[in-house]
Amino acid sequence: MNKPSARPLSLDFLRSFEAVARRLSFSAAAEDLHLTQPAISRQIKSLEEELGSMLFSRGTRRVELTHAGQSLLRAVEPMLVRLDGTVRQIRIAQGRAQISLSTFPSFATLWLMPRLTDFERRHPGIDIRLSATDRLADTDDPELDLLLRHCRPERAPAGAERMFGEVLTPVVGARMADAIARGEVPPLAKPADLAQHALVEVEDNTPSAMALAWPAWLSAQGLSQLAPRRWYSVNFNHQQIQAVVAGQGVGLAWLPMVHDALARGELVEPFGPALRLRSPFAYFMVALDHAGAHAAGRPPRPELTALLEFVRQHAADTRRAIGEEGAATDAPPASPR
């Protein structure tokens, strides 16, 4: 007979526990799981007996997690999320081909999504599941096939493939450029003229973000003390570009994400390519291999291979656009983060 400490817990009990802990209500948990409230209560009681510890303190009007319940929830919640995600992926694999990828919101908005339309046209039988979030996705997330990251090369995960580097350049919207040419607003002939304009910035004071912000570019021009007419702050880089296009001020663009808009004339570099600043950051592609196909000598799934090649083609176009035709595409090995 198994010892109580080694006996596995019932998955049904754990699902009931998670539902009660999430809703802090036995009746609400019963509704979520399509069970009766007495059934939920019996399962929680059985789980508490299995563990030899109370998981909830039950009052007349409220239910609260005990210390033991909080500890169990920290373990159970991510486990159920990953389990459900894996089951969903297995079910999907029996139907249409699907690729799940994750990147940060500005890259998704400005670089990836405009190009995915072409991929979907070429591969109508492949569904794309895109997660655009500031949360750094884990390289062992079973729900993801591909990560597109922006970091210093030494922080790139093992096996990451370099797509292109980062270049900073001041930009204005087409309407503002026309107004400058007509003399309706102050000129932008030299960097010192920025003192007469509003500067649009992304509000992020982390040390890594400062290498991609106005202080880094102004310092490179010997203007670290320059004070603009005013600051216009936003949360995300793609919001900065939207504000610039709307004429709110001068933005410091990440060139790989806006070179198409520059080519279309929606954005203008007032100081031209000469004052572009290369940063220590770069963009990386990380193909995830949960099934160990590469280790077994098997290629990745055909749909993932198609997307990888598609991204590589467009990454090559971006390298050419930012002057990196001969840049290497492989990152040095590093530990996943």
As to burial, measured by CB atoms within 10 angstroms (0-12 exposed, 13-18 middle, 19+ buried), residue 244 is: buried
- The band of 131, judged by pLDDT with boundaries at 50, 70 and 90, is confident
pLDDT for 296: 42
Residues in Cβ contact with 24 at an 8 Å cutoff, skipping those fewer than 6 apart: 62, 63, 64, 65
How many C-beta atoms surround the C-beta of residue 289 within 10 A?
17
| pLDDT of res. 292 | 45
Q: What is the domain range of residue 131? A: 97-156+285-319
Burial of 241 (0-12, 13-18, 19+ CB in 10 A): buried
Q: pLDDT per residue over 6-21, tens digit each?
A: 567 888 999 999 999 9
Q: What is the 3-state secondary structure (H, E, C) of the chain?
A: CCCCCCCCCCHHHHHHHHHHHHHCCHHHHHHHHCCCHHHHHHHHHHHHHHHCCCCEEECCCCEEECHHHHHHHHHHHHHHHHHHHHHHHHHHHCCCEEEEEEECHHHHHHHHHHHHHHHHHHCCCEEEEEEECCCCCCCCCCCCCEEEEEECHHHCCCCCEEEEEEEEEEEEEHHHHHHHHCCCCCCCCCHHHHHHCEEEEECCCCHHHHCCCHHHHHHHCCCCCCCCCEEEEECCHHHHHHHHHCCCCEEEEEHHHHHHHHHHCCEECCCCHHHCEEEEEEEEEEECCCCCCCCCCCCCCHHHHHHHHHHHHHHHHHHHHCCCCCCCCECCCCCCC
Give domain status of residue 66, yes or no. yes
- Whether 144 has a pLDDT exceeding 70, the answer reads yes
**Co-location of 172 and 131 in the same domain:** no
Last residue of a domain, one of 75, 92, 109: 92
Q: 65 with 24, same domain?
A: yes
With respect to residue 119, please indicate whether it lies within any of the assigned structural domains: yes
336 belongs to a structural domain: no
Q: What is the CATH number of the domain that holds 121?
A: 3.40.190.10
We report the CATH number of the domain holding residue 77 as 1.10.10.10
Q: Are residues 272 and 289 in the same domain?
A: no
Confidence band (pLDDT; 50, 70, 90) for 293?
very low
- Determine the Cα–Cα distance for residues 315 and 283; give it in Å rounded to an integer: 9
Q: Which residues contact 252 (CB under 8 A, 6 or more apart)?
A: 168, 169, 170, 171, 199, 200, 201, 212, 213, 214, 217, 240
Examine residue 126 and state whether it is found in any structural domain, yes or no.
Answer: yes
* Domain boundary, last residue among 92, 121, 138: 92
Asked if residue 258 and residue 174 are part of one domain, the reply reads yes
The reply to whether 171 and 230 lie within a common domain is yes
Residues 175 and 128 in one domain: no
> Does a structural domain hold residue 2?
no
Residues 147 and 187 both lie in one domain: no
* pLDDT tens-digit map of 211-242: 899 999 999 999 999 999 999 999 999 999 99
Beta bridge partners, 169, equal: 253
Name the amino acid, one letter, at 150.
H
Reply yes or no on whether the pLDDT at 337 is more than 70: no
Token pair 């001020």 is found at: 249
Quick check: is 6 in a domain? no
**Same domain for 87 and 101?**
no
Provide the domain count of the chain.
Answer: 3
85 & 101 share domain: no
Percentage of residues of the chain with pLDDT beyond 90 = 62
Residue after which a domain boundary falls, among 64, 92, 120? 92
Tokens read off for 315: 């990454």
Query: What's the pLDDT at 328?
Result: 43
Residues 270 and 169 in one domain: yes
Whole-number pLDDT of residue 133: 79
> How high does pLDDT run on average in the chain?
87
Question: Is 3 a residue whose pLDDT tops 50?
Answer: no
| Single pTM value for the model | 0.68
Residues 109 and 256 in one domain: no
Tokens 């609260």: give the residue: 64
The Cα 13–Cα 50 span in angstroms is: 10
Whether 4 maps to a domain, the answer reads no
Query: Do residues 15 and 86 share a domain?
Result: yes
Q: Is 45 inside any structural domain?
A: yes
Which residue, 171, 180, 187, is CA-closest to 251?
Answer: 171
